[in-house]
Structure 1
Amino acid sequence: MATTNEPPLDEIQWRHPGLAQSMQGIHSNSVLFYFAESPFFDRTSNNAVLTSQAMFNPTMFHLIQTRELFEGRLREMSGLEFIVAQEPAEMAPGTGTGVWVIRKQTRRKREPEDDISVHATYYVNGENIYMAPTLADILSYRMVTITSSLNKCFPAADKARIWSPSLGHVYKSTLNTTASRAQALESKGTTPMPEGQGGNNSKVTPESKKTNQPVLDSRLAEQSLIIHMQYGGEYMDENPITGKPGEFHLSSTGRKDKLQTLGLASLNTSLKGPTGPGLDKKDAKGDKTPKTPTGMPSKPRRRKSRAGTTPTSS
């Protein structure tokens, strides 16, 4: 016996334009009967039993004329049924979304309310009918998608990771960045040769320089940022010490400035005058201010006046 592989019901779309036209469109009184012709309908449901009874029993024919009477009779029965759960939202008279929601459910008569178990939900959009997927199907699909993505991610991460004794576990992008930094430093420190001495291979066209310039700029900018992050809080001396052990001196001043300083010190010493053991302290200190020569009239001295007397000159 040959078996046909039919797609799942939640993956198909059913429509019958001729049937919808014979029913004068999809409306409130025809939506359930239009749905009954689709592959989603169950022929053993109460809808099929009630429709066949009304077709052959004139006293029940009025039940299939309107949806309100038809669903009212279904609510009095127990078993599997299809009812309209939601109607199109009326935004204005004569207009709406055109989407009907039909539920497949089992009704069990209970007091005070019936026990209802929903099995599936369907959408009627115009002439098209779809089956809504269940929550379990949605979650299983999402989990399969996530698992498939992780299965592709982990092997790619393992391929990009490399282990070395000096660096440990690193990724290829990090190694490429380190190599590019070293290449940028080497290219910055080297001096280009003249065109006549370098040969054909040493000549670099202006187009290649323009092409490599943005790459070099980005590498230098990245290197500068890394240096700033590592040594941003450290500062170098304004006058770094140069020389070899035993002969250290400041690079900015040097020995020339030191000799000039020593020369100025000796010059200041010579200007002060000779000093020695034969000289007296008075001579070493220098001559004092000369006194007033004799013979010259001196200024008259004034006596201190007492209270009540007038000072007189001597």
Structure 2
Amino acid sequence: MAPQPPPLDEQEWADPSVLLGLPGGNVNSESILWYFMNSIFYDPISNNTVVAQDAGRTNNLAVLNSRKNFESLLKTKDGTAFLVAAEPQAPGQPWVIQRQFRTKGTDEKGHQKMEVRVTGTYYTVGEKILMSPNMLDILQARMLSITTNIQEFFELGRAMSHFAPATGHTYLPPSYEIAKAAAAPGSASRAGSPGAESVVEGSQIASAPAAQASMTEYNDDFFMSTLNMVNKYGHEFMDENPLQGEPGAFVFTSTKEQVEARNKAQAAARETGATLAVPVKSIEAESTVSTAAPTPKSIAPEGTSGPSRKGSIAKVPKLPGEKRRKSKGLTSPTSPTGFGP
């Protein structure tokens, strides 16, 4: 079965060889209708063919060489005719041709009039002739495009909607994968906690592509900086010098030099098998930073005497018949009330 040709409003026509035999050799006022009569949009049984054949038989050059006279005869006949509807007002503007179905009638006063119904519109682009689509085709195409876009939007929104008890309803890109976000740096510490999946879904969306790229690509500069940090800070630990105090007034328990000295002493003690006792006074003397909020006293290390807990000890009931022994200490001096003469 032969393929069906596309509709006329989806085609264009041009034949420069036809213009060579027309007045002026280009598209102008006297050649536009003759040029159009050779196109695929022309109807051979229209009134244009009838008027042209009649003028050719009678050798009526006044009609054949003048578009104005040619169109004047067309407007007096019933039936289909192709007439120029608009002329270009500046270079580059198109010629507009209408296909009109003309019928004679009478008005309310009995005068004859010509009723015109436009059944097609055509225009030129240089030497090309094209057909304008009708309003119904334009509206159908626009409505189809709108409904298609709305349907795609709802399908995309349905695929992007996610719900988690911690974050509620969220929308994620359709190509986003939870596994990539879970493998991102910083998400490992939260992977095993309750609601980790929702945290990953809600907070790792923007950093997932960058994190995935940083894990798959090798970077020499980053590797060397990591080695330098290990060599410089590899012997330090977070719990060696804990903070003490209150929020807004935190201070270190010991200075860096004292921590290093203590570590060396402990290492030497482990080698000799001796027990190291750290005095409390050296630790309490370090918290001398002046702050706005009071700093609580430090807790003494193991093996040393800590702060007194006298106030927290419950009182022991006194046995019956037991007398309390009086203290024989020095009596406090009394201030004189007056001086003699």
Q: Equivalent residue of 1:88, what SS?
A: coil
CA distance in 1, matches of 2:2, 2:188: 72
The answer to which of 28-37 and 161-170 deviates more is 161-170
Q: Which residues of structure 2 form unaligned runs of 5+?
A: 191-217, 226-245, 251-290, 298-331
Deviation per residue, 1:108-160 (Å, 9 max, x gap)? 33447532211111112332111111222222222222333333333332222
Deviation per residue, 1:85-115 (Å, 9 max, x gap)? 111214xxxxx22621101112233447532
Q: Corresponding residue for 2:147?
A: 147
TM-score normalized with structure 2 length: 0.51
Q: Corresponding residue for 1:15?
A: 14
Q: Equivalent residue of 1:102, what SS?
A: strand
CA contact (8 A) 2:123 2:132 kept: yes
Deviation per residue, 1:209-235 (Å, 9 max, x gap)? 699xxxxxxxxxxxxxxxxxxxxxxxx
CA distance in 1, matches of 2:147, 2:8: 25
CA distance in 1, matches of 2:224, 2:57: 90
**CA offset at residue 70 of structure 1?**
0.6
* 1:45–1:165 Cα change, 3 Å: same
**CA offset at residue 180 of structure 1?**
9.1
CA distance in 2, matches of 1:98, 1:205: 60
2:293 maps to a residue whose letter is S
**CA offset at residue 239 of structure 1?**
6.2
Over the matched positions of the two proteins, sequence identity in percent amounts to 28
**Mapping of 1:23-172 within 5 angstroms?**
23=22, 24-58=25-59, 60-90=60-90, 96-97=91-92, 99-110=94-105, 111=107, 114-172=114-172
TM-score normalized with structure 1 length: 0.55
- Say which one has the larger Rg: 1
CA distance in 2, matches of 1:169, 1:175: 17
**CA offset at residue 175 of structure 1?**
9.4
Q: Corresponding residue for 2:293?
A: 252
Decide which structure has greater helix share: 1
CA distance in 2, matches of 1:165, 1:178: 18
CA distance in 2, matches of 1:175, 1:210: 31
CA distance in 2, matches of 1:178, 1:46: 74
2:102 maps to a residue whose letter is R
**CA offset at residue 41 of structure 1?**
0.8
Q: Equivalent residue of 1:114, what SS?
A: strand
CA RMSD of aligned residues (A): 4.1
Q: Which residues of structure 1 form unaligned runs of 5+?
A: 91-95, 188-203, 212-235, 241-249, 257-273, 292-314
CA distance in 2, matches of 1:208, 1:147: 51
* 1:9–1:175 Cα change, 3 Å: closer
Deviation per residue, 1:62-103 (Å, 9 max, x gap)? 32220000111112222211111111214xxxxx22621101
